[in-house]
Each structure stands twice: as structure tokens, then as C-alpha cells.
Amino acid sequence: MTGSPLLEVTDLLIRYRAGLFAPRPKPAVNGASFRLERGTTLGIVGESGSGKTSLLRAILRLLPVESGAIRLEGRDWLALHGRALRRARQGIGVVSQNPFLSLSPRLTVAEILAEPMLAAGHRPGPQIRDRIAALLSDCGLPAAFLDRRARELSGGQAQRVAIARALALEPRLLVLDEPTSALDVSVQAQILNLLSDLRERHELSMLFVTHNLKVVAHVADSLLVMRRGDVVEFGPTEQVVHAPAQPYTRELLSFGVHSRTARKEPS
Ligand SMILES: Nc1ncnc2c1ncn2[C@@H]1O[C@H](COP(=O)(O)OP(=O)(O)O)[C@@H](O)[C@H]1O
Ligand SMILES: [Mg+2]
């Protein structure tokens, strides 16, 4: 592999604004640095409040950064604004925790999947219909689901539709914020398997945020461990899981019950 990483984040500092006369709050993300190589998955792990969502929102340019740099495909991602930013952002697919909040309940699955393509200027017609059916089947749902409404879906089915929608514009980067945390454990495993399959079939690059190290150790090539805004570890998954540099990571591993790799360790 040559060339620049897909995403490179350097010394990123994010701080929410307090009231005019309130003391400056401590940063939500305190100088994060990492890189995401093309076609790989980075797991971003940490307990609630560690800054994971803030980091993703800054990468999506939904939250301003105080200092630091973000390069996407070698370009200065923080320098884009307005129309150019909106167009470039269509190259990032987003999956959030609760599919029922992210999908309009009264729309049909076909309408939900068509929406990003229509918004990007594709003309309605048979090509879109075919593309939608292919997306859905890629995400493990038969075409019969196209006419269902979002509110009629189970949690797992709805998350499959949300993933299909995130892939509609063939994104160069897929960003997932706790994508399995709202699902039953059995369904979680199915969604993780789906993500692994998609990743291989489409050579996807993913940022996968979770508070559960066990969940992400299965799909991530590398891990970024965050605690109270600080990056406490960044390295290949095997290394972070087998030889964690920080006691905090060991704690997360034991909370995370057993990860596939951690289970090999003597208890
Ligand atoms: N909209 C907001 N306004 C002010 N502070 C926020 C806001 N959202 C998050 N925070 C704070 O930023 C920190 C990181 O939160 P967050 O990024 O949501 O963490 P995580 O996703 O890891 O749970 C926390 O201290 C949280 O209280
Ligand atoms: Mg969060």
C-alpha cells in the first residue's frame, strides 16, 4: 500500500462552547492523533463521555474544531466550506445507534434508499430502482422489503436499511456510531457479520465507534482507545488486545466480557 492514508487526524482539539461568562470547559477531545488506512477499519473505543461521538462529529464537520488538522485523501478537510463541503461530505456514509430515530417511520424502504441518490442529483427511474434493490440485497434483505415502511421493521432490519442507505452513494468512508448498541445481542452479531462481509466485498474503510471493546475487536484492524477526551492507545487490534499499554484498556477488555482474541489469554 502506497500513498497517503484515507484519513489522518493530527492533534485534534474539540471544546464545546460554554456560556459567555462561564469558565472554559475542558476539551471533549484533547489532542487526538491517528490515521485510517484505505480499506481498513478503525475501532474507536471508550466508556461513555470519552469523546467518541464528538470526534466523529468533528470528522463529519458537524462540530467545529478548536485546533488540529484533518486530512481526507491527502486534502485539507477543514479547508472545505459551503457547497464544496456538502458535496464532499456525500462521500462519507453515516450509521447511527438508533435506526428508528434515523429513518423516517412513514417512508418506505425504497423511498429511504432513494433519498440520498435523489439528493445527489440522480434522476428518478429504473436505474435507481435497480440500485436500491441491489443495495438492499447486499445488506441481507429481500426485495419484498422495498415497500415496507420503516416503522414495520424489526431493529435488526431497520439497521440493515440504515447501512444500505449509508452505502447508497458508494462512500469512500463509512462512519458508525454505536451501530449495534441498541440491538439485542443475537442481532448484534448478525449486524457485525454483515459489516465484515460488506467490508470485504466493497473494500470499505470504516470508523466504528463503540463503548464495547468486545464488539469492535471482531471487525477492527486497529483500535483507538479514548478516555475522558484523551487518546490512551492507538495501534493494531492484536497488539492493543493482547498487550494493552494502559490499565484502562485492560479494564475495558474485562468489561467487554471476552473478545475473540482476549479469550485466548489465561484467566
Ligand atoms: N452538545 C454538547 N454540549 C456540551 N458538552 C457536550 C456536548 N456533547 C458532548 N459533550 C461533552 O463532551 C464530552 C464527550 O462526549 P461524547 O463525545 O458524547 O462522548 P462519547 O460519545 O464517548 O460518549 C463529555 O464530557 C460530554 O459531556
Ligand atoms: Mg457517543
**In degrees rounded to 5, what are phi and psi of residue 19?**
-60, 165
β partners of residue 210: 45
2 lines ligand 1 (CB under 6 A): no
In the chain, where the domains are located: 104-170
Q: How far is CA 37 from CA 47, 119, 197, 204, 240, in A?
A: 25, 29, 18, 10, 17
pLDDT tens digits for range 192-234: 999 999 999 998 999 999 999 988 988 999 999 999 999 999 9
Q: Residue 144, Cβ neighbours under 10 Å: how many?
A: 9
- Ligand 1: centre distance to CA 51 (Å): 6
Residue 148, C-alpha cell as written in the block: 415496507
- Starting at the edge strand that comes first in sequence, how are the strands of the sheet with 75-76 ordered? 29-36, 7-14, 67-72, 75-76
CA-based radius of gyration for the chain: 19
- Ligand 2: centre distance to CA 125 (Å): 38
Q: How confident is the model at residue 267 (pLDDT cuts 50, 70, 90)?
A: very low
- Residues with CB under 5 Å of ion ligand 2 are 53
Ligand 1 probe mutation, 26, 54, 63, 211, most atoms within 8 A of CB: 54
